Amino acid sequence: THRVLAIDATLAPRDPRAPGQFGRPVAVPDGKQEEAKSRWKEGNFNVYLSDMIPVDRAIADTRPAGCSDQQVHDDLPTTTIIMCFVDEVWSTLLRSVHSVLSRSPSHLIQEVILVDDFSTKEYLKEKLDQYMSRFPKVKVLHLKERHGLIRARLAGAEIAKGKMKAILQARLEPHQSYLQHWVLQCDSELVISIFSSFSYMTVDNFQRGIFTWPMNFGWRQIPQEIIVKNKIKETDVIRCPVMAGGLFSIDKKYFFELGTYDPGLDVWGGENMEISFKVRHSWKLILGNDNPYSFPKDRVRTVERNLARVAEVWLDEYKELFYGHAYHLVLKNLDVGDLTQQIQLRKKLQCKSFRWYLENIYPDLDAPLVKASGLLLNIAKARCITVVNTTLALEACDVNNKHQHFNYTWLRRIQHGELCIVPTGTTVSLRPCQPSSPSMAWLHRALAAFQPQLTDHLISEHLQQPTCLEVDPSGKALRVSVCNSTNPHQKWQFGSYYAD
């Protein structure tokens, strides 16, 4: 082993007085504010300032103390770095390439592949090829049609020659030794951390990659008691339930063994969840930005469809939590496409269940299988709904009576086994549950917040006028009637609540 190499090579001497040199702040000159403002839309950042800053500059070392003292193996594998872009700002793209090459040990860089995803800017064609020709290890792949970020990465991965494949965004500047930190544990752990390697990233407060429902990626601080208990240091690898999609490195052979990305995912969004679940469920180790990519179609619709594909393949029975938090996808009966190949791949990889993932990888995720369960008590009568053969009745409550057990599901069903309570005219009956049928949905508690006075009611969602489940005054029959906030015969309570 040897200490990580501190490398920052340059093709020509750097001007110490240049704007932004050593990461110093830069201001738009007087009289240029309007021009800078007009150019903002070129990249959704201050393009004017980017063009002022040298494409080959030094930056301050903001890594945690101790990173420069780490030991790495003498025979680290070679890496192909893949950067995908579409209509990227010239100075930003060049600065990314210069910084990667300047701060990487040359023997570890197999190549840098720039994947041009059918850009419309002329400077990203022949001019880019001519500029990059000065770097023997840089290749520019011009795609003949728009692939989208996910498939553009796959196009780069297909031609990559390095043992490792590193995905980078085309607007970044890595620190010295970033690549050595990446591949530090590659012999035993095939998916590795990118924490503390890039100038805009930080391990302040020990952040880790997580997701919340409906699979929204984010960063969350590790609790202080966990840091103290496990004596976690800033230089330690931060293990994450899921990773960010824009920056990661993986053994190329293993990436293809995992089936790469789901080819049914469009443009960008959800691919980080999918690769995280693949790696985690097959029990390899994952360690751990506004995206500049444009969407030919509706952005929200594309990302939602991608996430729904991931949910259908990987979440097992917990996919109802995803749909419960994104219920509009149920209402529009979203078409996620053919999942046969991905389901077969999961079986081939012998992946563990999502329940295992929750118990072993992400135990702090709040993931109750249902919103409420147990007895369904009518407040006025203090009696419970009971299944009698295939009909419904109101009887004395008995927690040991399995015919009185109901679940209030994330899909808003009142469910008993495979049967759901459904309004039929002015009465109610039991019917086989159908996940996409709006007629089976009931609003209760937080879902009825649009009418706060009805939060204890069970409101049939699909009827034009708010209609509630109630017991007739005799206490013998169930029916639906116009909601009345003061009617106790329309107020219900489940035995246990697990979510709002």
Q: Answer whether residue 192 shows pLDDT above 50.
A: no
Which stretches within 252-294 are classed as H helix? 252-257, 271-281
For residues 392 and 399, what is the distance between their CA atoms, to the nearest angstrom?
Answer: 17
Is 228:258 a contact under the CB 8 Å cutoff? no
Looking at residue 299, its pLDDT comes to 62
Percent of the chain past pLDDT 90, that is, above it, reads: 58
Looking at residue 390, its pLDDT comes to 86
Structural element, H or E, at residue 340? helix 340-348
Looking at residue 195, its pLDDT comes to 30
Is 316:356 a contact under the CB 8 Å cutoff? no
Is 410:487 a contact under the CB 8 Å cutoff? no
How many CB atoms neighbour CB 135 within 10 A? 14
Radius of gyration of the chain (CA): 28
Looking at residue 237, its pLDDT comes to 74
Burial 285-324 (b: 16+ CB within 10 A, else e): ebbbeeebbebeeeeeebbbbbbbbbbbbbbeebbbbbbb
* Predicted confidence (pLDDT) per residue in 196-225, tens digit: 233 333 345 678 889 999 999 998 888 888
Q: Answer whether residue 37 shows pLDDT above 50.
A: yes
pLDDT band (50, 70, 90) for residue 461: confident
Looking at residue 188, its pLDDT comes to 36
For residues 322 and 269, what is the distance between their CA atoms, to the nearest angstrom?
Answer: 15
Own/partner pairs for 127-134, CB < 8 Å, 24+ apart? 128/93, 131/94, 132/97, 134/11
The closest alpha carbon to 170, from 97, 121, 277, belongs to 97
Mean pLDDT of the chain: 87
* Predicted confidence (pLDDT) per residue in 73-127, tens digit: 878 889 999 999 999 999 999 999 999 999 998 999 999 999 999 999 999 999 9
Looking at residue 289, its pLDDT comes to 39
Looking at residue 187, its pLDDT comes to 39
Per-residue pLDDT, averaged over 418-425, amounts to 93
Per-residue pLDDT, averaged over 10-14, amounts to 90
Per-residue pLDDT, averaged over 157-186, amounts to 81
**Domains of the chain, first to last:** 2-284 (3.90.550.10), 299-361 (1.10.8.460), 370-497 (2.80.10.50)
CA distances from 495 to 136, 369, 407, 428, 442 (A): 69, 15, 10, 21, 17
Place of tokens 């040991």: 400
Structural element, H or E, at residue 374? strand 372-378
Looking at residue 201, its pLDDT comes to 33
Looking at residue 75, its pLDDT comes to 83
* Predicted confidence (pLDDT) per residue in 344-388, tens digit: 999 999 999 999 999 988 998 999 999 999 999 999 999 999 999
